[in-house]
Structure 1
Amino acid sequence: MRRILIVNIICFVSIIAFAQTIENRIVPPDGYIRKKCDGNSFAAYLRQLPLFPEGSKVKLYNGQEKQNQSAAYSVINMEIGNLDLQQCADAVIRLRAEYLWVQKRYGEIKFNFTSGFPVEYTKWAEGKRIKVSGNKAEWYAAGGRDYSYKTFRKYLDMVFMYAGTASLAKELQTVPYTSLQPGDVFIKGGSPGHAVIVMDIAIHPTTKKKVFLLAQSYMPAQQIHILVNPSDRNLSPWYELTDADDGNLYTPEWTFAKKDLKRFK
């Protein structure tokens, strides 16, 4: 009986360790509590993303380790393919699209190529594919109806190939920094450009101060990772939301203006 009990405890501990998520591993600072959110919201989805074991290195698409490991606090356990596609804006697109796909909100999955060409997931799932020639893209019939995850991932790779910070920045709406919420994106469109996504928010019930988490991918394509806070190591990986809409946000590998904050429509 004792042996069975020990085995059960070991199994239980293993399950808990395996099921580590952003919510149950990354604890808010003392006195802060996570902002309540609807269970079907984008915020809840981001919060429940699984993490690789503590201490895991950020890997590139080719299996090599990212050179700057000091930027990462934790690594999100999500495959990124074996091509140099899922970079910074692509990671934001990936998380938003994955959430909508899980919710079966297929009609809302639509992103633009840098050329402005709109790429609706429903067209892809209904059997159409895209031919690209220079800056021109067009749909053509290629197969039958298929809403499987495998086909969805192929759709995403196509978007990653021809979209980027320039196109994504145009699709998002600018919001005040002080209204920041999970799923918002700090983005600087262009070449070079960069994007990081707000993953979670916690609030101090007395002072009403807020802190938030950020995540990114980068170049070359690499696993999405929770960022450290280079400006406040004691608060890291959390960032403090200040009262001012002006000024800068300093992340490990990019400096954004606070006015660079945008939101999915």
Structure 2
Amino acid sequence: MKKLLFFLFVIAAIVVFAFQFQPVKQTVTAVVTKPTYLNKSGKTIKERVKIPEGFTRVLYDSVSFQNYIRHQNLKKFGTKVMNYDGEHYFYQLGHVGVLDIDVPSNGLQQCADALIRLRSEYLWRTNQKSKIGFKFTSGHYCSWKKYAEGYRPKINGNKVTFHKTAQSDNSKVNFYKYLNLIYTYSGTMSLNNELKEIKSIKDLKIGDMLIIGGFPGHVVMIADISQNENGERLFLLIQGNTPAQSIHLLKNLDNSAISPWYKLQLNSEISVPGFTFTNSKFVRFKDE
């Protein structure tokens, strides 16, 4: 019996020893990573976001509004969206960049107003000041030209008349006072009613806006467009918001595989951080 136990012990020891020298099978696990389109060191919208493979950026004239928006300066990556009162906006997970544009402390520069400012400052910088003008929600047109000449609105309900009650002043300081007036009496509803509707995705340009007019409504602006050989288009979006806050470059929370790019469609539901457009409509500023 002792011999049998000794024999079994020897056999077991040989087996254990042999297994120590068996080749080890290595298991290779494939790690799938999605591409990132962010260049965190990018200082403009164009530099901050890379284009997907097979796409190219749509070209525009160097002095165009489209080129102006595409090359808007951004603050350092990771900059928080700020409210007009200097406090951080409560939600900081919906953006990949903050435009280097101040937020007036009066709280007037909300979603539509932020985009009105971008358009107005472009016209100012390119010496097209005579084109600066917007309709109030009442439908009455208020131009920078007449404001600079000293004309001010007298508002009584929906009735608006303009009277020369101030001295002529073409200064930049007075220009911002004019914009504050526009912010007060214009908004998503007036833009929705005033501006030309774009009825084809292939006709969209940088600077066009996805809009729903109302109280509240919302509006975001196309900040860049890329396209492939098949005509498929991808879009970047920027927005201001309510309360008045930093204009920021949006993530695509519904499709992280292409974020921050968006695929846009007409007459469809489009979600952006903080808002859902239930039936997409696009409009364009005048003279574009």
Quickly name the TM-score band, shorter chain normalised: 0.7 to 0.9
User: What RMSD in Å do the two structures reach over aligned CA positions?
Assistant: 2.0
Q: Higher helix proportion, which one?
A: 1
Matched with 1:203 is 227
What's 2:252 paired with? 229
Question: CA offsets per residue over residues 61-115 of structure 1, 9 Å max, x none?
Answer: 1111111111222110101211111111111211111111111112211111111
> SS of 1:51's equivalent?
coil
What are the residue-to-residue correspondences of 1:43-54 with 2, within 5 Å?
43-54=66-77
Q: What do residues 113-169 of structure 1 show as CA deviations (whole Å, max 9, x unaligned)?
A: 111121111011122233334333332324443322221111111100111111110
Match of 2:239 among 194, 201, 216: 216
Q: Give CA deviations for 1:222-245 in whole Å, capped at 9, x if unaligned.
A: 11111111111121111124xx53
Does residue 209 of structure 2 align to residue 185 of structure 1? Answer: yes
Alignment-derived partner of residue 53 in structure 2: 30
Aligned-partner Cα distance in 1 for 2:206–2:52: 17
Q: Report the TM-score when normalising by structure 2.
A: 0.80
Q: 1:129 is paired with a residue of what secondary structure?
A: strand
Provide the TM-score with structure 1 as the length reference: 0.86
- Matched ranges for 1:1-265 at <5 A: 20-178=43-201, 179-204=203-228, 206-241=229-264, 245-257=266-278, 259-265=280-286
- In structure 1, the gaps of 5 or more residues are 1-16
Superposition deviation, residue 18 in structure 1 = 9.8
Give unmatched runs, 5+ long, in structure 2. 1-39
SS at match of 1:69: coil
Q: How many pairs were matched up?
A: 246
Percent of counterpart pairs with the same letter?
39
Post-superposition shift, 1:185?
0.8
CA distance in 2, matches of 1:180, 1:250: 18
Indicate the structure (1 or 2) with the bigger Cα radius of gyration: 2
Give, in angstroms, the shift of residue 172 of structure 1: 1.1
| Whole-angstrom distance in 1 between the partners of 2:42 and 2:256 | 27
SS of the residue corresponding to residue 196 of structure 1 reads: strand
Q: Offset of 1:250 from its aligned partner?
A: 1.7
Amino acid across the alignment from 2:125: V
